[in-house]
C-alpha cells in the first residue's frame, strides 16, 4: 500500500542540511527544545530559520500544591453533588410525608457539609488570583 500524497508540496521536508555548531550553541538549542512544544532541536532550528515564534512552556512548581488541593476539593464537591442528586431523586419518588421530610433533612446536612469546602475553595482561588495578577 502506497503513502498518501501530500496536498501542499511546500510542507514536505525534503532537503537535508548538515551544520556544525559549538557545544554552547548546542546546549542553548537543547534547552529551548526541552522547554518548547516541539521537543526536538530540528523543530527549533526550523522555527528559527522560518523566523516564526517558538512557544516555550514554563511550569510554576509553587502552584503544584494548591492545584492538587483544588483538584481534591473539586472531587469532593462533585461527590457531594452526586449524593444530593440521589437524595433529590429519592425525595421525588417517595410516597409518605415522613420519608420526604427525612430526605429534606438529609439533603440539608449534605449542603452543610459542603460549606467548609466551598469556603476553602474560595480562599484558594483568591490567593491564586492575587499571585496571578501581581505578575
Q: Enumerate domains of the chain plus CATH numbers.
A: 14-49 (no CATH), 61-133 (1.20.58)
114-121, long-range: CB < 8 A, 24+ apart: 114/77, 114/80, 117/73, 117/76, 117/77, 117/80, 118/77, 120/69, 120/73, 121/70, 121/73, 121/77
Whether the model clears a pTM of 0.85, i.e. scores above it, the answer is no
Residue 129: all three cell numbers together = 488570583
In the prediction, which pLDDT does 128 show? 82
Judged on CB neighbours under 10 Å (0-12, 13-18, 19+), 17 is: exposed
Q: Which of 19-28, 37-46, 73-82 has the lowest mean pLDDT?
A: 37-46
Residue range 104-133, pLDDT digits in tens: 999 898 888 888 888 888 888 888 888 777
How far is CA 93 from each of CA 39, 41, 87, 103, rounded to the nearest angstrom? 56, 63, 10, 11
Q: Is the pLDDT of residue 60 over 80?
A: no
What is the arithmetic mean of pLDDT over 2-12? 71
In the prediction, which pLDDT does 9 show? 66
In the prediction, which pLDDT does 26 show? 93
Amino acid at each position: 500500500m502506497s503513502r498518501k500524497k501530500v496536498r501542499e508540496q511546500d510542507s514536505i521536508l525534503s532537503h537535508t542540511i548538515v551544520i556544525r555548531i559549538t557545544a554552547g550553541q548546542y546546549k542553548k538549542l537543547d534547552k529551548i527544545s526541552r522547554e518548547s512544544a516541539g521537543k526536538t532541536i530540528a523543530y527549533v532550528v526550523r522555527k528559527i530559520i522560518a523566523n516564526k515564534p517558538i512557544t516555550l512552556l514554563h511550569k510554576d512548581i509553587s502552584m503544584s500544591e494548591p492545584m492538587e488541593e483544588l483538584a481534591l476539593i473539586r472531587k469532593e464537591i462533585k461527590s457531594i453533588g452526586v449524593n444530593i442528586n440521589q437524595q433529590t431523586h429519592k425525595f421525588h419518588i417517595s410516597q409518605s410525608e415522613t420519608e420526604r421530610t427525612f430526605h429534606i433533612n438529609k439533603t440539608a446536612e449534605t449542603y452543610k457539609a459542603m460549606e467548609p469546602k466551598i469556603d476553602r475553595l474560595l480562599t484558594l482561588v483568591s490567593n491564586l488570583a492575587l499571585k496571578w495578577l501581581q505578575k
